[in-house]
Amino acid sequence: KNQVEQSPQSLIILEGKNCTLQCNYTVSPFSNLRWYKQDTGRGPVSLTIMTFSENTKSNGRYTATLDADTKQSSLHITASQLSDSASYICVVIRNTGGGNKLTFGTGTQLKVEL
């Protein structure tokens, strides 16, 4: 079964600290993996897109890693800011005969506090 599991479900950290969010998937055949940030009351915004051959990709203070062998990805946030408080959703895309299919993770709710 094609599934995407994220951990932790929720996380509270102090401003300025680093954190790492995890995404494990069983989706096959794998096409690419994306991390989205969704602020409360807003639509998701793409942070990174990882293809099979990419191990690490950065976008400012966000760094995503991908291990296609173990089917794991992580999103590392450096020097967190209050504005990082949001839901972070991992989405894995598989390539079927009729096009790409997206499988969404359940998200990690991050709260950054003073």
Residues that bind other proteins (CB under 8 A): 31, 34, 41-46, 49, 87, 89, 93, 98-102, 104-107, 109
Q: How far is the CB of 16 from other proteins (least distance, A)?
A: 27
Q: How far is the CB of 22 from other proteins (least distance, A)?
A: 16
Q: How far is the CB of 107 from other proteins (least distance, A)?
A: 6
DSSP readout, the chain? Answer: ---EEEE-SEEEEETT--EEEEEEE--SSEEEEEEEEE-TTS--EEEEEEETT-SEEEETTEEEEEETTTTEEEEEE-S--GGG-EEEEEEEEEEETTEEEEEE---EEEEEE-
Q: Which is nearer to other proteins, 84 or 107 (CB)?
A: 107
